[in-house]
Amino acid sequence: MNLKFHWRLLQGGEIRGVTTRATGASQRATGLPDPKHQIEFCRQAEASGITGLLTDIGASKPDPLLLAAGLGLATECIEFIVAYRSGLTLPTTFVQQLNTLSALVNGRVSLNIVAGHSPVEQHYYGDYLAHHERYARTEEFLAICHAFWENTGPVNFNGKYYRIEGGKLNTPFISPHRSFPELFIAGGSDEARSVAISQGTLWMRLADTPENLRSSVPPVLAAEKEVGLRMSIIARPTREEAVRAAHELLAGLDPSMRDRENEARFMIKSDSVSINATYALAEKEWLNPWLWTGAVRTHGAPAISIVGSFEEVANALIDYAELGVTQFILSGWPKLEEMILFGREVLPRVRKLESRLHLTQNA
Amino acid sequence: MKKRALRFHWSMSSVGEKWRGAKSRAAQNGIPDLEAHVDFCRRAEACGIDSVLTAFGFHRADPIVLASALGMLTAKIKFMVAIRSGICSPTALVQQVNTVSALTNGRICLNVVGGHTPNEQRGYGDFLSHDDRYARTDEFLTVCRAFWEGDGPVNFKGNYYHIENGRLNTPFVAADRTGPEIFLGGSSPQAFGLAARHADCLWTLPRRPEELATRITAVLESGTEVGILVSIITRPSRKEALSAAQSMLAEVGDRARKTQQDFSRVSDSVAFTSTLALAEESSSDWLTPWLWTAAVPYLGAPAIALVGSYDEVTKGILEFTKAGVTQFLFLGWPDVPEMIAFNEEVRPRVLAQYDAGSDISQGTLLNDEAELKRS
């Protein structure tokens, strides 16, 4: 199977490149779709060999499913990885919305299911469940979604969080390839991994070094599910240039360190296992010669980055592939330019290395 | 009192279906035909229609997803998106509505419905009774309006919803509003009360205009407008209109009739069941010389129709305006030719006479005895 590379969709207000939580979420602009620049970004992603674009979910963003519907109508082949969480919508409604979207964009949609990371934000929506209960509810939510996608008759379900009686929908999931969407289950906790195994198609977690991932991946692969990583890329012609770009990323920030304080304040309120774990990893700036945590405490946990020359970045991605990782959701800075550079310089190198990897695996 | 401008909307529910309502819900195709919908929207734009209704039901595509897609492919038309409480968090709904507003420059309004079929509600995980659904909708709209009308974090604690410091970064985007226009459908006392409290306009089903005038007095006095959901069959002459109406009935036939009877047995909607009963029990198919109920047993409550020549249908519409109705949500079989006839022939007549008429106090009606005898 070829590795699949996705990118995080450009959000409103991000066209100038760097947006940290401090300069981003406090601005109204992140709440507004920016169709002009986002469509441009989608088309560039299509041209750069990117498979899908992650559309974030959160109270500071537009609704991801509807944003995907809007952008999907203006694009041809890019897929949308819609982030979603239980506790906002009943599962029947959600399936109806997602299936409708699939029918409008010919199946160019998959899901990145998150459990939520901020109790404060969950309360905005009337959701008061604790971390482990949210996973239990997500499990029920997805079991009901699957029952609709299997489409074998009226759906009945009586669980702890949901009760459905005789559920029917006339709008199926439409895709040339699948009867239900790819389901990425995001989260670093054991609960997240077990939901990925029981209900998902892929376990999506924040990156760590290949060594640290080595033990957590095999149970997922053994269950015939995929493993994906959420991380960032800083690739330049030489390692020196890449490291300089990484450091410039931080140098460009508000000298008052407002970004760092804001991120720290966000962390205090978060009950996400993986976000907290990645924040802790960032005690150390380099986890190995190419895995850099320098931006985690200002730009958020997904800013854990592969930093290096095009060749080094491609090799690092192959290191993960050798563990069994098959998909990546990437970010970079400046947002558009890094994606273009990745498509032009890194991706061809990855494909070349990958074909060798397949040869050795098949030998 | 100063007269309000009349506004005209059209239902988009039948795109891709020749006889809306003739097939059971379960037998309908839920896969949206994008091209047909875009074509319908553009025709509605050309016909000066204010908004198109995207309805809600298990047998349909999701209305708000459809609206956001169609909004990207159209320029002027507004989308009247049907919503129900009980299927999502009010905060999540506000976020979705605001997202569509931002993508379409405010071309979204809401049609709040209470739900009409307990069986269907249970398929969504909603087990409340008719009256409780209205109580929940009351809370739901209170929360939504706090997001749209307030300027701070939203806090609410009720029987159904508990929101703490709710905030969203995506505002409702429109040139002239901070939140969507809210239409609310229903015929029960609960619906009327809720519309008076929360809605800009109540959608209800037609009755004889003088009867309707009495029923809607309190809603109008609250400052909420009243609109009716009504079908339209208009032709150059009354004879042609009647023949179109009759041939429609002949074509849809008895299977459609059974579909409606089956639906009525499982529905707890006061609007739908009382209209069906009215049509089944009344001795005549005509409530007024141009208000025809014969299609209701075949095609459902919204099939109560204004039938007649352009002048007659004009009169029928004006009678409703005299009863206090200022907005109309039309359906036709098929929709597009009817929409074109309405735009070219009926609307100009209606507006000329409405504008020429003296300011009318609510509830006064001029009954034309001669016209009534003619039926």
Q: Shortest CA distance to B92 belongs to which of A93, A142, A159, A184? A: A93
| Owner of token pair 């198919």 | B285
User: Is B161 within 8 Å of A31 when comparing Cβ atoms?
Assistant: no
* B163 neighbourhood in chain A, CB within 8 Å: 123-126
SS3 call for A339? helix
Q: Shortest CA distance to B5 belongs to which of B290, B339, B327, B262? A: B327
Interface test with A, best of B105, B124, B143 (most A CBs within 10 A): B124
Q: Which residues contact residue B211 at a Cβ distance below 8 angstroms, ignoring those fewer than 6 apart?
A: none
User: Is A90 within 8 Å of B88 when comparing Cβ atoms?
Assistant: yes
Please give the pLDDT value at position B365: 39
Measured CA to CA in angstroms, residue B8 lies from A312, B51, B228, B300 at distances of 64, 8, 10, 21
**B34, B62, B126 ranked by CB distance to A96: nearest:** B62
Q: Which residues contact residue A359 at a Cβ distance below 8 angstroms, ignoring those fewer than 6 apart?
A: none
Least Cα separation, residue A175 to chain B (angstroms)? 12
Residue of A nearest to B119 (CA): A166
Q: Is the peptide bond before A334 cis (omega within 30 degrees of 0)?
A: yes
Q: Which residues contact residue B68 at a Cβ distance below 8 angstroms, ignoring those fewer than 6 apart?
A: A66, A69, A70, B99, B100, B103, B104
How many other C-beta atoms can be found within 10 angstroms of the C-beta atom of residue A286?
Answer: 12
Q: Shortest CA distance to A236 belongs to which of A223, A253, A249, A226? A: A249
- Checking ipTM against 0.85, whether it exceeds it is yes
Measured in whole angstroms, the distance separating CA B104 from the mean position of its chain's CA atoms is 21
Position B1 confidence tier, pLDDT thresholds 50, 70, 90 = low
Measured CA to CA in angstroms, residue A32 lies from A67, A224, B3 at distances of 10, 39, 37
Least Cα separation, residue B248 to chain A (angstroms)? 26
* A32 neighbourhood in chain B, CB within 8 Å: 102, 169-171, 173
Each residue of B155-207: pLDDT tens digit? 999 999 999 999 999 999 999 999 999 999 988 899 999 999 999 999 999 99
Dist CA A87 CA B161 (whole Å): 13
Percent of chain A with pLDDT over 70: 93
User: Is B164 within 8 Å of A169 when comparing Cβ atoms?
Assistant: no
User: Is A124 within 8 Å of B167 when comparing Cβ atoms?
Assistant: yes
Sign (positive or negative) of CA dihedral A58, A62, A65, A71: negative
Measured CA to CA in angstroms, residue B171 lies from A116, A122, B346 at distances of 22, 19, 38
Residue type, A81: I
Interface test with B, best of A26, A32, A90, A100 (most B CBs within 10 A): A100
Each residue of B209-222: pLDDT tens digit? 999 999 999 999 99
Beta strand spans in B23-161 (E): 51-54, 78-84, 108-113, 154-157
**B73, B98, B125 ranked by CB distance to A73: nearest:** B73
User: Is B162 within 8 Å of A88 when comparing Cβ atoms?
Assistant: no
Measured CA to CA in angstroms, residue B255 lies from A233, A273, B116, B261 at distances of 62, 58, 22, 10
* A170 neighbourhood in chain B, CB within 8 Å: 25-26, 28-31, 58-60
Dist CA A162 CA B218 (whole Å): 39
Reported pTM:
0.92
User: Is B123 within 8 Å of A25 when comparing Cβ atoms?
Assistant: no
How many other C-beta atoms can be found within 10 angstroms of the C-beta atom of residue A268?
Answer: 6
How many other C-beta atoms can be found within 10 angstroms of the C-beta atom of residue B133?
Answer: 24
B213 Ramachandran zone, left/alpha/beta (phi>0; psi -120 to 50): alpha
**A101, A103, A166 ranked by CB distance to B123: nearest:** A166
User: Is A170 within 8 Å of B163 when comparing Cβ atoms?
Assistant: no
DSSP per-residue string spanning A193-259: HHHHHHH-SEEEEE---HHHHTTTSHHHHHTT-EEEEEEEEEEESSHHHHHHHHHHHHHTS-TT-HH
Each residue of B310-369: pLDDT tens digit? 999 999 999 999 999 999 999 998 899 999 999 999 999 999 999 887 554 443 333 443
User: Is A170 within 8 Å of B62 when comparing Cβ atoms?
Assistant: no
Structure token pair of residue A357 = 């990897």
Q: Which residues contact residue A339 at a Cβ distance below 8 angstroms, ignoring those fewer than 6 apart?
A: A7, A41, A44, A45, A48, A50, A330, A332
Dist CA B231 CA B234 (whole Å): 10
* A161 neighbourhood in chain B, CB within 8 Å: none
Dist CA B278 CA A265 (whole Å): 63
Q: Shortest CA distance to A92 belongs to which of B86, B137, B184? A: B86
* B100 neighbourhood in chain A, CB within 8 Å: 66
Q: Shortest CA distance to B7 belongs to which of B200, B197, B199, B178? A: B200
User: Is B58 within 8 Å of A93 when comparing Cβ atoms?
Assistant: no
Residue type, B176: D
Please give the pLDDT value at position B375: 39
| Owner of token pair 């563990």 | A323
How many alpha carbons fall within 13 Å on the CB side of residue A148? 30
DSSP per-residue string spanning B94-122: HHHHHHHHHHHTS-EEEEEE--S-HHHHH
User: Is A90 within 8 Å of B87 when comparing Cβ atoms?
Assistant: yes
How big is the A-B interface in CB pairs under 8 Å? 182
The C-alpha angle A279, A281, A287, rounded to 5 degrees, equals 140
Least Cα separation, residue A262 to chain B (angstroms)? 17
Which pLDDT tens digits describe chain A residue by residue (363 residues)? 699 999 999 988 886 555 555 444 445 678 999 999 999 999 999 999 999 999 999 999 999 999 999 999 999 999 999 999 988 999 999 999 999 999 999 999 999 999 887 889 999 999 999 888 999 999 999 999 999 999 999 999 999 999 999 999 999 999 999 999 999 999 999 999 999 999 999 999 999 999 999 999 999 999 999 999 999 999 999 999 999 999 999 887 766 666 677 777 777 777 788 888 888 888 999 999 999 999 999 899 999 999 999 999 999 999 999 999 999 999 999 999 999 999 999 999 999 999 887 777 665
Measured in whole angstroms, the distance separating CA B208 from the mean position of its chain's CA atoms is 18
Q: CB–CB of B192/B218 below 8 Å?
A: yes
Dist CA A304 CA A293 (whole Å): 5
